[in-house]
Amino acid sequence: MENIINNIPVTKCEKSKISDVDFNNLAFGSVFSDHMLVCDYKNGAWETPTIVPYQPITLDPSAKIFHYGQSIFEGMKAYKDTNEDVWLFRPMDNCKRLNISAKRLAIPELPEAYFMEGLKALLKLDSNWIPTNSGGSLYIRPFIFASGNGFHASPANAYKFIIATAPSGAYFSGKVKVAIEEKYSRSANGGVGYAKAGGNYAGQFYPTQLAIQKGYNQVIWTDDNTHEYIEEAGAMNIFVRINDTLMTAPTSDRILDGITRKSIIEIAKAEGINVEVKKISVNEVVEAAKNGSLKEMFGSGTAAVVSPIAAFGYKGTDYDLPELENSYASLLKKRITDIQYNRTDDPFGWRVKV
């Protein structure tokens, strides 16, 4: 069955899978909604996007994604308020960052209208997949990869852009214990650390496995040159609170310009919290832990919004963080999620209605 939504051609699935889904028990990113948006780049141009039933992709064994890793993605969410209205949070930031990543990996940039109108059409079609239970949301994964064929080491001549979605329950990371990395690097100066390239995450898995084997949940990445400065927390940006000052590392070639990170900085300033964007040395954090001035550490990202860190390990010693009743982490998470779910005013203009 075909129709048009937002000028996007739609082929609907014959039968929805939604009745088979237990929305009260959703593991993150493991159940997928009925449809996906697909757009191909061929003959030097992006073709018209279409929405089709969620389905496998067929690729030639010589497709360049398999050999040279031209692959980028975004992570975002759709939310439903108590009136069943659907909202996005800073979607143009995701669109712009996708194209920043595309440019760095020699992937053709995607027209913004294809991203925004395609996403809105997909959400209108699959709006029943957006959870309404507390903390639930529809995780959205836009991605582009090289579908063109050939073993020669050069950019592909064909690409595929897809938006797939997955309903998710409330994301609780629990008490996270992290290891400050002393050997491996997530990224390097002049590299692709600031892009959301698939390979960035592949390279994280092995050092993270080593940390897990030692009893930690995740890794705090340090700079590639000296390993003296903390930069990111696993796949998240990182914040450190010493006394009443909230600090985070500046973005660079190595550090992703996180949308949640930017939002936390703005909200914290609006709340009167002293915020510093600066290089944070490992020694500064360790000394603060020893003298009691280290109050909080937390990661920030789309999935968990804010993920508090309960302890960190460095050079064989573990340091516990205090449990605070009125933490910055809990305050900032509430402020962001209240905006996302349309529970409060949005003074920043971040919320976009679908």
Q: Which residues of 211-245 are buried (b: 16+ CB within 10 A; e: fewer)?
A: beeeebbbbbbbbbeebebbbbbbbbbbbbbbeee
Which pair of structure tokens corresponds to residue 226?
Answer: 């000296």
Say how far apart CA 27 and CA 37 lie, in whole Å. 23
Single-letter amino acid, residue 102: A
CB count within 10 Å of CB 341 equals: 19
For 34-93, the DSSP string reads SEEEEEEEETTEE---EEEE-------TTBTHHHH--EEE--EEEEE-TT--EEEESHHH
CA 143 → CA 6, 165, 306, 345, distances in Å?
20, 11, 24, 31
Flag whether pLDDT at 1 surpasses 60.
Answer: no
The per-residue pLDDT for 3 is 87
The per-residue pLDDT for 172 is 67
Instruction: Estimate to the nearest angstrom the gap between the alpha carbon of 300 and the chain centroid.
Output: 9
Per-residue pLDDT reduced to its tens digit, 87-105: 999 999 999 999 999 999 9
Which pair of structure tokens corresponds to residue 222?
Answer: 């340090």
The per-residue pLDDT for 174 is 73
Flag whether pLDDT at 80 surpasses 80.
Answer: yes
Domains along the chain with CATH numbers: 2-168 (3.30.470.10), 176-340 (3.20.10.10)
Per-residue pLDDT reduced to its tens digit, 285-300: 999 999 999 999 999 9
Instruction: Estimate to the nearest angstrom the gap between the alpha carbon of 47 and the chain centroid.
Output: 27
DSSP class of residue 129 equals: G
Within the chain, residue ranges assigned H as helices are: 65-68, 91-104, 112-125, 198-213, 259-270, 282-291, 328-340
Flag whether pLDDT at 173 surpasses 90.
Answer: no
Looking at per-residue pLDDT, the higher value among 2 and 177 belongs to 177
Average model confidence (pLDDT) across the chain: 95
The pTM (predicted TM-score) of the whole model is 0.96
| Average pLDDT of the residues in 61-81 | 98
